[in-house]
A and B are shown apart, each in its own frame.
Chain A
Amino acid sequence: MSATVKTLVNQPYKYGFVTDIEADTIPRGLSEDVIRLISAKKEEPEFMLEFRLKAFRQWQKMTEPAWSNVKYPPINYQDIIYYSAPKKKPKLNSLEEVDPTLLETFEKLGIPLSEQKRLSNVAVDAIFDSVSVATTFKEKLAEEGVIFCSISEALREYPELVQKYLGSVVPIADNYFAALNSAVFSDGSFVYVPKNTKCPMELSTYFRINSGDTGQFERTLIVAEEGSYVSYLEGCTAPMYDTNQLHAAVVELVALDNAEIKYSTVQNWYAGDENGKGGIYNFVTKRGLCQGVNSKISWTQVETGSAITWKYPSCVLVGDNSVGEFYSVALTNNMQQADTGTKMVHVGKNTRSTIVSKGISAGRSSNSYRGLVKVSPNAKGARNYSQCDSMLIGDNAHANTFPYIQVQNNTARVEHEASTSKIGEEQLFYFSQRGISAEDAVSMMISGFCKDVFNQLPMEFAVEADRLLSLKLEGSVG
């Protein structure tokens, strides 16, 4: 790989700063006492503590999965801090009382929370380490009956709703990291859209890891009642530390009859330096349940950060005629590793799913698509279309595709297409001979490659995602 390609991919990480803020941090390590402490700090109802303890006991019996195509040294779970929150407790109803240092931090990240500078038509829940610090546009959403708040607040204000759905899509012992999350999750977002309501604005959660040895275990739950619609977007950044930090989230989506949930992610956690030192371990379980007839869940993800990404946003298509979609761009550079994809489980009749995955690998990174399409015996007339494209930048990156297809009835139609392309010296020379710089050439090729996925993002974020990818690749080509 010549110098130009390299300089193109290696743009410095802009969000690597640390906010100096007094924090309420519990001691390192994990035990039943720690879980009781977290639950007490959050003033949770009794059922929640039971939920956590049950998960913790399950987790202790489980072993860390080793089947994915990623490598990392053993994680010492007793060396992680499971709860850290800014000391000055925000009153969740008034943004004015939020610590100005926090408002400044989010502003620096491009997420203005203060009244006069808010993003128009996007409601934001801002999560700083273990807690939600602010949620905008709550009153306006409430007029429509839409609940959008932190999950901690939801546990206090709407415990019956949370109890009904929490763990209904991702059971507490689903997998090692989901069990850990169920035991120790600290905060996240809760969305409830009532019957026949179209959520009037984009909902967005911004996750920020600040302190050094803290794990972030967020929990998000979105419930769309019959005939409702909601579009939700999450963004993530973290400071640059030399040590690895664990981020193990669980996201559950429930769509009832004729409901639609659109869930988009722009993930830009710190990825570590060019030698692979530091960075976030992003071990996430995301699953959507299309419970009702004609329901639809659509995942769109742009994964650019993290030292290791391990996530498979999935759809369980139970309702007849329900639809699952997965659109993904996963970019890895330097020493980053990604093993990501989706699961589409067809249970109901005439269920349909679409998978479009675009993997971009630069530097010495490794990028794997892993996907399962499962059609159960009763899913008559089920259809799936999968497309997995890989793009290699330079000569030292790896791309893999692991599609698993399990079809248990003969009326199903499953299609799979795959391609691999490369941005190399010759393509760049062709552009430069036409007067186009290597930076512009790469960004044109990447935009073109990712077009099908970016088109799925809410407008406000599509441009941002495009720009983010170009920045990430700066220095990778040449």
Chain B
Amino acid sequence: MIVENSGTVLSVRDLTAEVEGTPILKGVNLEIKAGEIHAIMGPNGSGKSTFSKVLAGHPAYKVTGGEVIFQGNNLLEMEPEERAQSGVFMAFQYPLEIPGVTNLDFLRVAYNSRRKVQGLEELDAFDFDEIVQEKLEVVKMNPTFLNRSVNEGFSGGEKKRNEILQMALLEPKLAILDETDSGLDIDALKIVANGVNQLATPDNAILLITHYQRLLNYIVPDFVHVMADGRVITSGGKELALELESRGYDWVLEENVSEVGAK
């Protein structure tokens, strides 16, 4: 069993979830292997952002059925911080501002919590500084950002770069990027995409959640999935994204209506 699944990072089966009693996910199926980049696209309200939050364990979302196996473990039984510590990372669509907590402290505590779970020694401020300086280059970030409060007064682009900096430090097994391209100008988008590409390895997997194809010009996915009304209605290669870009979402919804309805 373990040998058979060794390449599988994430396996989602018939996942259903609701928020405040309203069903949002209505049976999501997805399989992600190490070394792969997947993109989930879909119109607004399709459930794609909900899906990312359910994977990360946001307390406002209630799982009502199905299963999620992450590296052989039942992800749904784990607390949000346990998921993070075992290698699930989510880059937030709207990263939060944390006044009074410096970026450097925040990054160090996060980094050490991951190390602790891995049975590694926690790093002191001095040793950590060396590591973080190195990672700053991944997203071309100015070191002065480390001494400012987390995301406080950061521009939209700076907040997203800060998310990717965290990803670079935490070296997740599965990175979920929730609408990371939203609100970015083209220069910031290139820096962020370039950072993500540097971090993609044969051992980890990346799941991009996006409304637009634009991001996929810079981070090229192996698989594209279209989500609508809480389900993955069709999947394909990177060319599917281009087709969605030129033809919109309507044709794909129409073509798959009968299939969805039959389920």
B-binding residues in A (CB < 8 A)? 2, 4, 421, 425-427, 429-437, 440, 444-445, 447-449, 451
B158 within 8 A of A: no
Interface of A is mostly: helix
Measured between alpha carbons, how far is A189 from B60 in the docked complex, in Å? 53
Q: Does B95 contact A (CB under 8 A)?
A: yes
Compute how far the CA of A426 lies from the CA of B106 in the bound complex, rounded to whole angstroms.
Answer: 16
Which chain B residues numbered 54 to 87 have a C-beta less than 8 Å away from chain A?
56-60, 79-81, 83-85
Residue of A nearest to B90 (CB): A433
A residues near B113, Cβ cutoff 8 Å: 434-437
* Any A CB within 8 A of the CB of B204: no
Fill in one digit per residue for B99-120: 1 if any A CB lies within 8 Å of its CB, else 0: 1111001100110011001000
Is B235 an interface residue when CB atoms closer than 8 A count as contact?
no
Contact A432 B79 (CB under 8 A): yes
With a cutoff of 8 Å between Cβ atoms, the chain B residues found around residue A440 in the complex are: 109
Is there contact, CB below 8 Å, between A2 and B59? Answer: yes
Minimum Cβ distance to chain B for residue A273 (Å): 27
Return chain A residues, CB-CB under 8 Å to B92. Answer: 430, 433
- Interchain CA distance A435-B105 in the complex, whole Å: 14
Residue contact B84 to A451, C-beta cutoff 8 Å: no
Decide yes or no whether B96 CB sits under 8 A from chain A. yes
Q: Is the CB of A429 within 8 A of B58?
A: yes
Interface residues on chain B, number (Cβ under 8 Å) = 31
Chain A proximity of B98: nearest CB distance (Å): 6
Seen from chain B, the residues whose Cβ lies within 8 Å of a Cβ on chain A are: 56-60, 79-81, 83-85, 89-90, 92, 95-96, 98-102, 105-106, 109-110, 113-114, 117, 149, 166, 170
Q: A435, B101: Cβ atoms under 8 Å?
A: no
Given A432-B80, A433-B84, A435-B81, CB of A449 within 8 Å of CB of B100: yes
Q: Measured between alpha carbons, how far is A434 from B170 in the docked complex, in Å?
A: 8
The interface centre, meaning the residue of A421, A434, A447, A451 with most chain B CB atoms within 10 A of its CB, is A434
Assess the A426–B80 pair: CB atoms within 8 A: no
Task: Tell which of B99, B100, B166 touches A434, judged by Cβ atoms closer than 8 Å.
Answer: B166
Q: B96 and A444: CB pair below 8 A?
A: no
**Residue ID in chain A nearest B113 by CB atoms:** A435
Least Cβ–Cβ distance between A331 and chain B, in angstroms: 15
Task: Kindly name the residue among A426, A433, A445 whose own CB sees the greatest number of chain B CB atoms within 10 A.
Answer: A433
Cβ of B110: which chain A residues have Cβ within 8 Å of it? 434-436
Cross-chain contact A434 with B95 (CB below 8 angstroms): no
Q: Give every chain A residue within 8 A of B98 (Cβ-Cβ).
A: 427, 430, 444-445, 448
Which residues in B have their C-beta under 8 angstroms from that of A449? 99-100
Determine the chain B residues whose CB is within 8 A of the CB of A2 once the complex forms.
Answer: 59
| Contact across chains for B100 and A433 when beta carbons are under 8 A apart | no
**Which residues of A lie under 8 Å from residue B79 when comparing CB positions?**
432
Tell me the bound Cα distance from A427 to B89 in angstroms.
16
CA A4 to CA B89, docked complex, whole Å: 21
25 CB contacts below 8 A, A to B, read A2-B59, A4-B59, A425-B59, A427-B98, A430-B92, A430-B96, A432-B81, A433-B57, A433-B81, A434-B84, A434-B110, A435-B81, A435-B84, A435-B170, A436-B106, A436-B110, A436-B113, A444-B101, A444-B105, A445-B99, A445-B101, A448-B102, A448-B149, A449-B99, A449-B100
Q: Measured between alpha carbons, how far is A434 from B92 in the docked complex, in Å?
A: 11
Q: Tell me the nearest residue of chain A to B114, going by C-beta.
A: A435
Partner of A432, one of B60, B84, B101: B84
Contact between A425 and B56, CB atoms less than 8 A apart: no
Residue among B58, B85, B99 with most chain A CB within 10 A: B99
Nearest residue, chain B, Cβ from A423: B98
- B99: nearest chain-A partner, CB-CB: A421
Contact A448 B101, beta carbon cutoff 8 Å = yes
B83 CB contacts on chain A under 8 angstroms: 433
* B99, A429: Cβ atoms closer than 8 Å: no
Cα distance A184–B166 in the bound complex, in angstroms: 61
| Distance of B180 from chain A, by nearest CB (Å) | 14
Complex CA–CA separation, A430 to B99 (angstroms)? 13
Known A426-B96, A445-B101; further 5 A-B contacts with Cβ < 8 A: A429-B80, A432-B57, A437-B81, A447-B100, A448-B101
Minimum C-beta distance from A417 to chain B (A): 14
Q: Which 4 A/B pairs are nearest by Cβ-Cβ distance?
A: A448-B100, A435-B113, A434-B110, A435-B84
- The distance in angstroms between the C-alpha atoms of A429 and B60, with both chains bound, is 10
Q: How far apart are A278's CB and chain B's nearest CB, in angstroms?
A: 33
The residue that B96 contacts in the complex, of A427, A437, A448, with Cβ under 8 A, is A427
Q: Are B56 and A433 in contact (CB under 8 A)?
A: yes
CB distance from B108 to the nearest CB of A (A): 10
Task: Report B-chain residues with C-beta under 8 Å of the C-beta of A436.
Answer: 81, 106, 109-110, 113
Given A433-B80, A436-B109, A448 and B99 touching (CB < 8 A)?
yes
Measured CB to CB, the closest approach of chain B to A98, in angstroms, equals 43
B123 → chain A closest CB, angstroms: 14
Return the chain B residue nearest A4 by Cβ: B59
User: Using Cβ atoms and an 8 Å threshold, which residues of chain A touch B90?
Assistant: 433
State the CA gap A425–B85 with chains docked (Å): 19
Which residues of B are found within 8 Å of A437, using beta-carbon distances?
81, 113
Closest chain B CB from A450 CB (angstroms)? 8
A434 touches B106 (CB 8 A): yes
In contact, B80 and A444 (Cβ under 8 angstroms): no
Complex partner residue of B85 from A4, A429, A435, CB under 8 angstroms: A435
Name the residue among A4, A425, A444, A451 with the largest chain B CB count within 10 angstroms.
Answer: A444
- Of chain A, the residue at the smallest CB distance from B105 is A444
Q: Which residue of B lies closest to A426 (CB)?
A: B96
Closest Cβ–Cβ distance, residue A2 to chain B (whole Å): 6
Cα-based distance from A429 to B58 in the complex (angstroms) = 7
CB-CB under 8 A from B114, the residues of chain A are 435
Give Cα distance in the complex from A437 to B79, angstroms. Answer: 10
Query: Contact at A444–B106, with CB atoms within 8 Å?
Result: yes
